Chains A and B, each alone.
Chain A
Amino acid sequence: MAKATFSIRRGGRDGGEMVDYQAEVSEGMVVLDAVHQIQAESAPDLACRWNCKAGKCGSCSAEINGMPKLMCMTRLDTIDLSQTVTIEPMRAFPPIKDLISDVSWNYEVKKRIKKFNPRKPDAEDGTWRMQQSDIDRVQEFRKCIECYLCQDVCHVLRDHNKHEEFIGPRFLVYTAALEMHPLDTENRTEDLKDMFGIGYCNITKCCTKVCPEHITITDNAIIPLKERVVDEHYDPLKKLVKLFRKK
């Protein structure tokens, strides 16, 4: 059986080093299988998060050969195994141990977004009626598994450390799902501009590239939200039209 070398980040919150391990490679293996093999045979104290092994729980996010990916969905036959394969934790968040990052910042961000606020029920049974065509657009955003790979690859967080001022692609998608919902009555454009820092996004589409659920983050969520912010803050003609409509 062929062997491959994996260079894995080992260490706690500070420092850390890349340590090489060997693993036997067989057909159909994914990176997570190799990590499990290394845990079983060479490094029983190697820490990594995983759960479903089916690309649906979003736990095993890591950087494989420098690109943010799910370990469970990255097949070894898609990687050049003649060279050492590097596996690191997500860089946009502080490391805890080995391959585990502290993603708790994301949970705090989510709490700041105005919750779903539906209009009054309009059906006799006290519920709502929606057309499928109206809900189709936000359905895509609900595929998100919160793996935070998009947050990890976003240079605003990763390189510029703007965690204080920018909520990142994941939560722009979440905001889009609420903001474009046909029942929702809340207006989040002011927050998007000021608190959520949508203007920091410079549309490099890296988030879309790494999304394991293939959500068209930039084109379908971020840019439409940017356009809503333009409507309210940067379009004098639109403001004028609104003024006349009010009268």
Chain B
Amino acid sequence: MASNLVQITRRGFGETMRRDGWWIQSALTFLGFSAFIVYSTWAAFQGAHYSFGPYLSPMYSPLIWEAAGQQLSGHAWLGSWPSWLPTYLLVQPITPAILILWAPGGFRFTCYYYRGAYYKAFWADPPACAVGESRSGYRGERKFPLVLQNIHRYFLYVAIVFIGILAYDAIAATQFKDGFGIGVGTIVLTVNVILLGSYTFGCHSLRHLVGGGCDVMSDKPVRQGLWNWVSKLNRNHMLFAWMSLFWVGFSDFYVRMCSMGVFTDYRIF
């Protein structure tokens, strides 16, 4: 290919002839992601107020061990924080959330939707469509470290397991001390797993794995059906990505506020 055919003049950072508010979408994405990262990091390091009665914050689920120094809540799989596990790594406390958040975090970080969104909002690569960039060099996702984005499907496998666990948590959120019931928290945790499920099961990698990799699906009705179903969710992947992100944060906030006595959890029945 004759490269000398194409020689274009680069525009400087932010340089564009666009007159619309091209920066708004990237700015909102930046603010939205930043707010979630700040809140979730803060919540993950707290190691307290992550459960309230039958409710368990999704940021601490699965709760492998109860956080160091916390009373047994009944949600922990293996009981109290083990003595062989340190409670601090340098100055940062190690909490049950720290042990598990790498999985949903990795799933979102390598998600095709999020990649496109944060490359624009955080890396300005590009800042918006048809707007000049700051860097002249570009390697895309061909080289280390971004070539690692290709492990997205492995995070998907873990994320699907997490959906099962969060679905169990939503069911467990109906088991109050006085028996079956539904509180506002039950609804919050149920909506959480529905939104997370809609996001996870609309994943591009899942779409490929269930049938997208086949050129002929007409002789594979189960794969065809699954592909159609995942494709439907995939069309709204961005919407579910944002809704589930917000709702995970809100679910943790709700459980935390109830546990701290700020909110009263009303029972519907």
Q: Return B61 CB to nearest CB of chain A, in Å.
A: 26
Query: Does A45 touch B at the CB level, under 8 Å?
Result: no
Chain B 208-249 interface residues, beta-carbon cutoff 8 Å to A:
208-209, 212-213, 215-218, 224, 234-235, 237
Chain B residues close to A by CB (< 8 Å): 1-3, 5-11, 16-20, 112-113, 115-116, 119-120, 125-126, 129-130, 132-133, 136-138, 140-142, 146-147, 150-151, 153-154, 204-205, 207-209, 212-213, 215-218, 224, 234-235, 237
Q: A204 with B119: in contact, given A66-B18, A93-B8 (CB under 8 Å)?
A: yes
What are 19 sample pairs from A and B whose C-beta atoms fall under 8 A apart?
Answer: A65-B19, A65-B20, A67-B129, A67-B130, A92-B6, A94-B6, A159-B11, A160-B138, A162-B138, A163-B5, A202-B115, A209-B129, A219-B204, A219-B235, A219-B237, A226-B150, A227-B213, A228-B213, A234-B150
Assess whether A161 is in contact with B18, with CB atoms less than 8 Å apart.
no
Residue of A nearest to B152 (CB): A230
Question: CA separation between A180 and B213, bound complex, in Å?
Answer: 8
How far is it, in angstroms, between the C-alpha of A112 and the C-alpha of B129 when the chains are bound? 28
Looking at the assembled complex, report how far the CB atom of A147 sits from the nearest CB atom of chain B, in whole angstroms.
15
Q: How far in angstroms is the closest Cβ of chain A from B249? A: 24
Structural contact, B208 and A224, CB atoms closer than 8 A: yes
Given A93-B6, A104-B5, A223-B112, A200 contacting B208 (CB threshold 8 A): no
Q: Smallest distance from the beta carbon of B37 to chain A beta carbons, Å? A: 20
Q: How far is the CA of A160 from the CA of B147 in the complex (A)?
A: 18
A230 contacts B6, CB within 8 Å? no
Establish whether residues A202 and B140, one from each chain, have CB atoms under 8 Å apart when the complex forms: yes
Q: Mark A204-247, 1 if CB is under 8 A from B, else 0.
A: 11100110000000110001101111110011010000000000
A238: nearest residue on chain B (CB-CB)?
Answer: B153
Residues in A lying within 8 Å of B, measured CB to CB? 63, 65-68, 80, 83, 86, 88, 91-94, 102, 104-105, 108-109, 112, 131, 133-134, 153, 155-164, 179-182, 184, 197, 199-206, 209-210, 218-219, 223-224, 226-231, 234-235, 237
Measured between beta carbons, the chain A residues less than 8 angstroms from B130 are 63, 66-68, 153, 158, 206
Task: Tell whether, in the assembled complex, residue B8 and residue A92 are in contact, meaning their CB atoms are under 8 Å apart.
Answer: yes
How distant is the Cα of A164 from the Cα of B1 in the complex, in angstroms? 7
Q: Is the interface of A mostly helix, strand, loop or mixed?
A: mixed
- Within the complex, the shortest CB–CB distance from B29 to chain A, in Å, comes to 12
Residues in A with CB closer than 8 Å to B154 are 237
| Bound CA span A66–B110, Å | 31
CB-CB under 8 A from B140, the residues of chain A are: 156, 197, 199-202
Contact, CB under 8 Å: B3 / A204: no
